[in-house]
Amino acid sequence: MAAPQIPNLNSLRRGRGRGRGIGRSTDNGPESRPSGKDRIVQGTDNDASVSRLSAVDLGYLTDAYATALTPRGSATRRFPIINRGTYVRTTAIDQLVTSFLGLYTPEQTQAKRKQIISLGAGSDTRVFRILSSRQPSDLVYHEIDFAVNTTSKIQAIRSTPQLQQALGINTPDAEVSISEMGDALHSPSYHIHPVDLRSLSVNSDRDLSTILPGVERELPTLLVSECCLIYLTPSEAEQVVKFFTEHLFQSESQPTIPLGLVLYEPIRPDDAFGRTMVSNLATRGIQLQTLHKYASLEAQRCRLKEQGFGDGQAGADIEFIWKNWVYEEEKERVAGLEMLDEMEEWQLLARHYCIAWGWRDGSDASVFQGWTTLKAQSDN
Amino acid sequence: MSDLDRAIEQLRACRLIPESQVRELCYKARELLIEEGNVVSVDAPVTICGDIHGQFHDLMELFRVGGDVPDTNYLFMGDFVDRGFYSLESFLLLLCLKVRYPDRMTLIRGNHESRQITTVYGFYDECIRKYGSANVWRYCCEVFDYLALGAIVLGASSELEPTTSSANDTTQSTMPIDDTELETEVLNSRGEVTMSTYRPRQRSSSDASTDSRNISPPRDISAAPGQLGAPTRSGAPGTGAGGDSNGSAPGSRTGAVLCVHGGLSPLIDSVDKIRLIDRKQEVPHEGAMCDLLWSDPDEIEGWGLSPRGAGFLFGGDIVKQFNHLNGLSLVARAHQLVMEGYKEMFDGGIVTVWSAPNYCYRCGNVAAILELGEDTSSGGTVARSNGEYGRSNGVMGADSLSTVVSPGRRYRVFEAAAQDTRGMPAKKPVADYFL
């Protein structure tokens, strides 16, 4: 049965149930009692995982972990337009991430280790895909999300040997620890943090090692926000970014380390499609709070520049990326998977989502070298 | 009250009819449609509608804006089903009206009236969900196979009767000057004129034609008043060779209007060729029948590959030549979302009409229907040439390309129905976004 026809009440209900059932320790701050709005935002993760599984099942994406991380029974075939969007979004971010990590060679040394911090990661599968294809020792991957979401992810990992294997924690002697609450996981190359992003503040006097244990402050780092920061207020979103640029990865005792940010979020709220999007999401209780502030590619570039990524800022909408990043042969393959009957609708939808990326070179300008060669969109 | 009238009443209330009744309805509809040619002849006045896509409440709004059946003579250019949440209610209602008022309701096939497409885009799932089996989907698909591929509208007037409803102060219509006729008019859903264009009334003398009937593109409606400029279109619409060469149709100087869902095909150079297609089948993946349902006009020359993977792109030169060879003044088609509801291209040689407002409950577009008036200048008689007049023997001078006058065109633009206020079940549709 096609999902789009049916209001996905289940995802909301599920979020609510979990939120209530789990007693939270108090030391994680505001997220211990999720407000109604937070629950809805938490529920959006289900949307994303269902879309991903749909794209995987139809052959758009190869992702061995999509099934394990989608709630059982919620698999649904999405419309072709959504599948193509999921494909472009995923492969484009993959490309940025791969470029940051550099080509994997078995001889790679400890010195080239890098770090990824995924904000609001939810049930994202990227970490499994990356770690299963590389030497785990050259990467530290962090995911930060509401405890509700991290708990269900950790449950999935616990019950799925395939996921443990991807993380390299399937052996009896694996160094892995899971918190008593089941909401935090720590292993040499993968950490799950049950943290409300809003509690990350420059002014925090808390010991960094307790907020985000395992984060290595001297590693070149990539921050990823896939439809995450947009749910925060503009000042909260800025605070979160500043926490990383000015607090965590800035210290007087050592040279500035390379730091990048990849954003994926809606843009252009002020035309007919954008207005409808805002009002449709509002009826679901979803408010994209920074959408109007960062309403264009230009605004996204300014944001990146102003918020600590001074060495490069670029962006492109999903339509541009489909046209310019995807090889012709691959485009043909993808177009052949399903008949996409509405080109106009595709363009409308795809022009309202963008990927923006910015970086600071710090002590090593080679880290984000690859990003300079990606084709960016120059207009608004 | 007959069963059919009861079914109509029920469907109008957005309530489904029993499966046995659907079966009977589809049987009757097939009997009716099998008698129709591939290209149905329709006499003006007629109201031409584009894609509906299961947006039932918006279809009701369309009837409110365009007039009810049978008072208004309707021609729907396909894509009744898929995407929206009420494909069944929408299609079955249209089918009931077709069976009840066969002469006031013309339905032609869209690319979504197909087994393959409906299994991907929602209609199949809707049938399973609402009837518990694929039976109703199967009955409907059998009807799809019998739908006509196109229609020819005859006897449309070149001049519109001005709308009498008083225009408010935002109206941008300019006063007609002497010796002009009203060519196009755009009305909002309250029936207020928001734009009109005039052209010189045809004279008996043969002033040379530099015919430029390109009306202002729809987006100009929202532009500053005054931008529309001169109320008259420069250039006279030619000498009306279509009428001249067709002595049997005195007064009817307006060329016929071809209506198809998608567009033209490189395999089809005359309306007659459409009539030769064996249409009673699933929409093929290629060939003339596929093209008619899938192609799109584009700002290119000649033919191009379609990004849709079926059908072709065709340029203004193709339209101009096709219209000329077939004595057509206009191709009306649907198939493409246009944010303003309608879009004329190629000097008014082709128009896209889109009748699904806020398409997929997501796109934020308005919808439109196109009204063609009846030419009463010849006392109501209609040239019965089925789009064949004006056909030359292949020899064609460059200046004779625009030989027929386009019909007067009244676009009624409307927005999505406010569901909860109209006594309809207010199940709020949820559109998909990336979150």
Instruction: Give the minimum alpha-carbon distance from A331 to chain B in angstroms, rounded to a whole number.
Output: 11
Of residues B285, B265, B256, B292, the one with CA closest to residue B391: B256
* One-character DSSP codes across A76-97: -PPPHHHHHHHHHHHHHHHHHH
Q: Write the pLDDT tens digit of every residue in A203-260.
A: 666 777 778 999 998 999 999 999 999 999 999 999 999 999 988 888 776 778 999 9
On the question of pLDDT at B427 being above 80, the answer is no
Q: How much of chain B exceeds pLDDT 90, in percent?
A: 66
Q: Which residues pair with A116 in a beta bridge?
A: A141, A222
Q: How many CB atoms lie within 10 A of CB B223?
A: 13
> Rounded CA gap, B266 and B170, in Å?
44
Name which of A57, A77, A339, A352 to mutate to probe chain B: the one with the most chain B Cβ atoms within 10 A of its Cβ.
A339
Query: What are the structure tokens assigned to A201, written together?
Result: 């503040």
> Rounded CA gap, B314 and B300, in Å?
7
Report the sign of the C-alpha dihedral through residues A276, A279, A284, A289, in that order: positive
Buried b (16+ CB within 10 A) or exposed e, A312-335: bbbbbbbbbbbbebbeeeeeeebb
User: Helix, strand, coil % (nearest 5) of chain A?
Assistant: 45, 15, 40
Given A1, A266, A275, which is nearest B129 (Cβ)? A1
> Rounded CA gap, B335 and B372, in Å?
20
Q: What is the pLDDT of residue A104?
A: 63
Q: Write the pLDDT tens digit of every residue in B171-202.
A: 454 555 678 889 999 999 888 999 999 988 76
In chain B, residues with a C-beta closer than 8 Å to the C-beta of A344 are: 336-338
Q: What is the pLDDT of residue A51?
A: 94
> Rounded CA gap, A7 and A287, in Å?
17
Q: Write the pLDDT tens digit of every residue in B249-272.
A: 334 567 899 999 999 999 999 999
Average pLDDT over residues B125-133: 96
Range in B42-51, B84-93, B232-241 with the lowest mean pLDDT: B232-241
Question: A3-379: which CATH architecture?
Answer: 3-Layer(aba) Sandwich (3.40)
Q: What is the pLDDT of residue A325?
A: 97
Annotated binding-site residues of A for S-adenosyl-L-methionine read 89, 120, 196-197, 226
Q: Write the pLDDT tens digit of every residue in A100-152.
A: 998 766 665 545 889 999 999 999 999 999 999 887 678 999 999 999 999 99
Q: What is the pLDDT of residue B384?
A: 47
Average pLDDT over residues B31-47: 96
Query: What are the structure tokens assigned to B400, written together?
Result: 């004779």
Q: Write the pLDDT tens digit of every residue in A291-336.
A: 999 999 999 999 999 999 999 999 999 999 999 999 999 999 999 8
Name which of A93, A348, A352, A354 to mutate to probe chain B: the one with the most chain B Cβ atoms within 10 A of its Cβ.
A348
Q: What is the pLDDT of residue B316?
A: 97
* One-character DSSP codes across B83-145: SSS-HHHHHHHHHHHHHHSGGGEEEB--TTSSHHHHHHHSHHHHHHHHHSSSHHHHHHHHHHT
Determine whether B261 is an active site residue. no
Q: Write the pLDDT tens digit of every residue in B276-289.
A: 999 999 999 999 99
Instruction: Name the residue ranges covered by the structural domains of chain A.
Output: 3-379
Indicate yes or no: CB of A5 within 8 angstroms of CB of B120.
no
Query: What are the structure tokens assigned to A115, written together?
Result: 């770090």
For residue A146, what are the contacts with CB-CB under 8 A and spacing of at least 6? A31, A34, A38, A41, A42, A194, A196
Mean of the per-residue pLDDT values of chain A? 86
Q: Write the pLDDT tens digit of every residue in A273-289.
A: 999 999 999 988 899 99
CA dihedral B110, B111, B115, B119 (to 10 degrees): -110
Residue A89 touches partner B, C-beta closer than 8 Å: yes
- The complex's ipTM works out to 0.79
Mean of the per-residue pLDDT values of chain B? 83
Range in B22-26, B117-121, B209-213, B276-280 with the lowest mean pLDDT: B209-213
